[in-house]
Amino acid sequence: MELDALAAEAYVYGYPLVRDLSVVEGAMYTGYGPLPPTPFNHFAHADRPVPPDTPFVSVGDDTVRSVAHLDLSGGPVLLHVPGPDGTYRVLQFVDAWTDNFAYVGDRATGTRAGDWLVVPPGWAGRVPGGVLGVIDAPTSVVTVIGRSGCDDGDERGGPERIRAFQEQLTITYVEPGAHRTGLPAPDPDVPEPLRFFEQLRVWMADFPPSAPDRAYQDRFQPLGLLEEGPSPYVRADAARADAVLVRALTEGAARGRARVAEAGRADAVRAGWVMEPHLFDYNLDHHGVGTIDSPEWRIADREASYLTRAVAARSALWGVHGYRAVYAHALCDAGGERLNGAHSYVLRFEGRPPAEAGWSLAVYDMAGDGPVGRRIGETLVGGGPAYAEDGSLTVRIQRERPDDPVAAANRLPAPDGDFRAVLGLCAPGAGILDGTYELPVVERVR
């Protein structure tokens, strides 16, 4: 294989690791939106949904985030999870390669209060008594994303309950040990065109993947990615002794980026909705508590899984498995025209959408960073949809408020310009996952 083609493969393979740890680093030093900069082994808490332009938030995810980056290089940590309070809660665990390897809370493991022991790879110590369970981390740095259902109109005090949950969500050390204060640093003298491969080289050595993936990445030896010690890319650039390698890496990165971007455009479209419930099926090796380890949730072809993983890291970093939540997006109406607030639209649900943990429908202004006005849905957010006697639900998207009280209760306000409709489904039913449930078309009112 030519070097530039090999470099393109390495880019696709390694992009999730570089993307993940770059965002982790940003979270530690600059923060994102309402999440302040926070060191390892501490939670950063938001007081509202994080804007969808944040690197790790999908449009339509209307939960409030609590995010912690765990460093386990000095030993395991205890994660204390509060008990139930009637609100949707789930903690998602993601390794440095973006594999979702565990879920805690809600329907994943139940909502009992207690401690979970999170241990690094290869740990063989004593498990403290009284813990609810052990979470085996595939890499020594992992990210924990807590999601809390939010309901500003909840008479039981949604925001107060979220704050109480966040205050009780704690991390403590189990063993004395030196933990990292930052990530392993790539050589700063590597020129910018080669920086991606330098980051991949350094972080791949410190956060090795599963054994099958390690066998696969042996093919990247000619690119210098498996070299330890001083960076081979500084030597190659400074001495101009390996212009062939520099050119191959530069061209390969461009080809790899184009491949990931093109694959990301091949979305599954149903009735005008873009929905990909199996985008996160690339985890083939690490299935801990709360995950489903079965063939229907694993990509059969390992090499194909690398491209899917890169697409997910680019478009929906730290998104959850489809059996936890699915978000469907509609940009066009039934006639293929862009959704725009100059027009009015109608959606008819024949019954409640199949989602065990709740659903919501919102409108997002393409020129803004959040939902326009209220949402309609059940369980996760307020909105109080008014179903007809036959169980159907008709939702209107328009700027004007209807005079009819039922139509007004089921109306989503539209912005002035282009927008998208987003349907969020938590714990979706089989009809969503296998494609047999018919999503409602967005009909423009003529």
Q: What is the pTM of this model?
A: 0.89
Pick among 3.20.20.70, 2.60.120.600, 3.40.50.300, 2.60.40.1730: CATH of 324-444: 2.60.120.600
CA distances from 74 to 179, 180, 430 (A): 5, 8, 42
Which of the four pLDDT bands, split at 50, 70 and 90, describes residue 150? low
Is the CB of residue 49 less than 8 Å from the CB of residue 67?
Answer: no
Q: Domain segments of the chain: what residues?
A: 16-173, 324-444
Supply the DSSP string of 80-120, one letter for each residue.
Answer: EE----SS-EEEEEEETT--EEEEESHHHH----EEEEEE-
Nearest to 281 by CA among 267, 303, 297, 260: 297
Nearest to 133 by CA among 177, 91, 175: 91
In the structure encoding, which two tokens stand for residue 301, read together?
């072809």
Task: Give the mean pLDDT of the chain.
Answer: 88
In the structure encoding, which two tokens stand for residue 405, read together?
């009280």
Which of the four pLDDT bands, split at 50, 70 and 90, describes residue 175? confident
317-330 confidence digits (pLDDT tens): 999 999 998 989 99
39-93 confidence digits (pLDDT tens): 999 999 987 776 666 776 666 566 788 999 999 999 999 999 987 766 678 899 9
The vertex-174 CA angle with 171 and 180, nearest 5°, equals 70
